[in-house]
Structure 1
Amino acid sequence: MKKKNPIIIGIESSCDETAVSIVESNNILSNIIIHQNIHKKYGGVVPELAARLHDEKLLEAFNKSIFVAKIKQNQIDAVSCTIGPGLINSLLVGCSFSKSLAMGLNIPIITVDHIQAHILVHFIKNANFNNRFPTFPFLGLVISGGHTQIIKVNGYFYMKVIGSTLDNALGETIDKIARKIGFNYPGGSSIEIYSKYGNNKKFFFPKPLIKGLNFSFSGLKTYILKFIENQTKKDPFFIKNNIHDLCASIQKSISDILIDKMNQAVIETDINRIVLSGGVSSNKEIINNFSVHAKKNNWDLFIPKKCFATDNGAMIAITGFFKYKRNMFSSIKISPYSKCKQIYSPTIS
């Protein structure tokens, strides 16, 4: 018999965060994240190394999660795990662990789409700065290291991608620009820190001319990289002397692109409720610019708190909770997928 307030464990291993969380309904009992800091010295995530570290750390994260939640293993009602998109070997580690746990405890397994979970994290109590849940319909903007998408959300499991990047994801673009400036991986936080003291109008970077609601960041990335390269040839100390203004101008350019596309999405859908998700949504410049724009244009804006913006097990657990309530269980024969699905639910208009 299904419980009214089930305890769900969520396991996330799509990239380089080993994360396990336990929720009871939409209340968090524990949220453990083990960061794989070793990738910094390689300038990016090494897939084989990430998978091996997940294999080493998942049991530790699981045990910590049980301890912090102050429950026993036999109190867990279902296991939810990320099935994709992400690094396939890392996903295989998480799925295999989840299958073993489900079989060992004789409980159902629930598979979760990583992008969908980023959006549904807003339905955890106090997960966003509004401390309230968004109401349907709304427009979700998912911006992270591997994903950039605009999603029309009519219900928990009625979502449709209406805009997506045609090339590089936003987080990936920022990291490559940061490396050119001289920052270590991941460089987004460094650009954010240095931008605080800069003039964001000092340097102008043209916006990509992409029709519809899709994004393209490869042209912007190439333009900025060549700009830095050319300026450095003229003045070897260009970066050092202009680092604050350079970072501020880069951040403004990116923020303007995102706001322009969301403006267009609001006009096309007649929906002014905006939900930000993904690691890049914790960027303070993006938060500030979206907040100012939302106030001027009467948007109802939802921004996740940082611990719920980056990859975490809580977003997997809460999605598992909603699936549990709807009997959306999975087969033990599940296989993960690496690429994004364009539609996460029945097609909606």
Structure 2
Amino acid sequence: MLVLGIETSCDETAAALVRDGCVVLSSVIASQHDLHAEYAGVVPEIASRAHVEQMLPVVREALAQAGVGLGMIDAVSVGNRPGLIGSLLVGVAAAKALSWSLGKPLIGVDHVHAHLYSGLLTRGSAPDQPPRLPGLGLVVSGGHTSLYRIDSWREIKRLGATIDDAAGEAFDKAATILGLPHPGGPNLDRLARTPGANDRAVDLPISRLSRESLDFSFSGLKTALLYAARGVPGSRSAPPPPLDEARRADLAAC
């Protein structure tokens, strides 16, 4: 079976051709980083409009790279939840139009479950045997941080999740606190790798709630970083060291 997949849940327009559920024939992504850089985050309306502009070129390029025509596909799949509603609407509308015009099945996909499934994808031949289940899956992204038990690809149970910020969101907010440009996560990671950066300069809290819980919390970590960088409002204690390049590298490494 040959499936055309479409993904527009946030700020990247993507399309791929996948054979037999695991062999990736092509994967094309149009990034919007430059459009959102001046806002230090994704602006939903801008993201939606960019998806409209990029959808057809991305699908055409994915088909061209795979060397197939629309008439050769057996189904159309699309990420239909969760995500930015305007962005999702663009992808779902495009997928519905293709499905209807081609007379092919339309498959809606939870894009977080797709993150879990991505571990099965390959650029070469299909594996001789699929991974043995049940399995444990961890999704860590800009909008989601969740732990799952996978009994089958139709039976996925969430065991725990963040109760506030996702890990990627916390990364981006930490980057903003340290004055780093968008996209915050990669820039924060690069700063943390600065030679000589001291990852013990500040004692920051961990994100585990308790031994009995499989949930996560990143808001306390983010607040602790804010206080380490700028001081505690109203506190009579000594102010933190100046936020120079060395101090920023130390805080990023922590």
Give the structure-1-normalised TM-score.
0.65
Structure 2 residue aligned with 1:31: 27
> Does 1:22 find its partner at 2:23?
no
CA RMSD in angstroms comes to: 1.8
CA apart distance, 1:184? 0.8
Return the letter of the residue paired with 2:15: V
**Superposed CA offset, 1:283-310 (max 9, x none):** xxxxxxxxxxxxxxxxxxxxxxxxxxxx
**Superposed CA offset, 1:266-291 (max 9, x none):** xxxxxxxxxxxxxxxxxxxxxxxxxx
**Superposed CA offset, 1:91-133 (max 9, x none):** 0110000000001111010000011000001111269xxxx96
* C-alpha separation in 2, matches of 1:117 and 1:208: 25
Pick one of 86, 97, 102 that aligns with 1:100: 97
Between Structure 1 and Structure 2, which shows a larger proportion of helix residues? 1
> Does 1:210 find its partner at 2:209?
yes
The unaligned stretches of length 5 or more in structure 1 are 1-5, 250-349
* C-alpha separation in 2, matches of 1:191 and 1:149: 22
> Does 1:246 find its partner at 2:246?
no
Structure 2 residue aligned with 1:13: 8
CA apart distance, 1:234? 4.4
Structure 1 residue aligned with 2:80: 83
Structure 2 residue aligned with 1:48: 45
**Superposed CA offset, 1:209-232 (max 9, x none):** 624111111111111111110299
Q: Secondary structure at the match of 1:220?
A: helix
> Does 1:229 find its partner at 2:230?
yes
CA apart distance, 1:74? 0.2
* C-alpha separation in 2, matches of 1:214 and 1:116: 18
Q: Which structure has the bigger radius of gyration?
A: 2
**Superposed CA offset, 1:51-83 (max 9, x none):** 111011100101101111111110010000001
Q: Residues 23 and 123 of structure 2 are in contact (CA less than 8 Å); yes or no, is this contact kept in structure 1?
A: no
Structure 1 residue aligned with 2:198: 199
Q: Residues 202 and 228 of structure 2 are in contact (CA less than 8 Å); yes or no, is this contact kept in structure 1?
A: no
The unaligned stretches of length 5 or more in structure 2 are 233-237
* C-alpha separation in 2, matches of 1:134 and 1:226: 45
Pick one of 158, 173, 176 that aligns with 1:161: 158
CA, structure 1 residues 159+209, in 2 after alignment: closer, same or farther (shift >3 Å)? closer
Identity of aligned residues (%): 38
Q: Residues 122 and 133 of structure 1 are in contact (CA less than 8 Å); yes or no, is this contact kept in structure 2?
A: no
Q: Secondary structure at the match of 1:207?
A: coil
* C-alpha separation in 2, matches of 1:46 and 1:220: 25
Pick one of 117, 122, 125 that aligns with 1:125: 122
**Superposed CA offset, 1:159-204 (max 9, x none):** 1001011111110011001011111122111121122222322221
* C-alpha separation in 2, matches of 1:133 and 1:239: 51
Q: Secondary structure at the match of 1:115?
A: helix
Give the structure-2-normalised TM-score.
0.89
CA, structure 1 residues 28+170, in 2 after alignment: closer, same or farther (shift >3 Å)? same
Pick one of 58, 69, 74 that aligns with 1:72: 69
* C-alpha separation in 1, matches of 2:67 and 2:123: 21
CA, structure 1 residues 71+159, in 2 after alignment: closer, same or farther (shift >3 Å)? same
Q: Residues 147 and 159 of structure 2 are in contact (CA less than 8 Å); yes or no, is this contact kept in structure 1?
A: yes
Range with bigger deviation, 238-247 or 135-144: 238-247
* C-alpha separation in 2, matches of 1:173 and 1:208: 11
* C-alpha separation in 1, matches of 2:114 and 2:208: 30
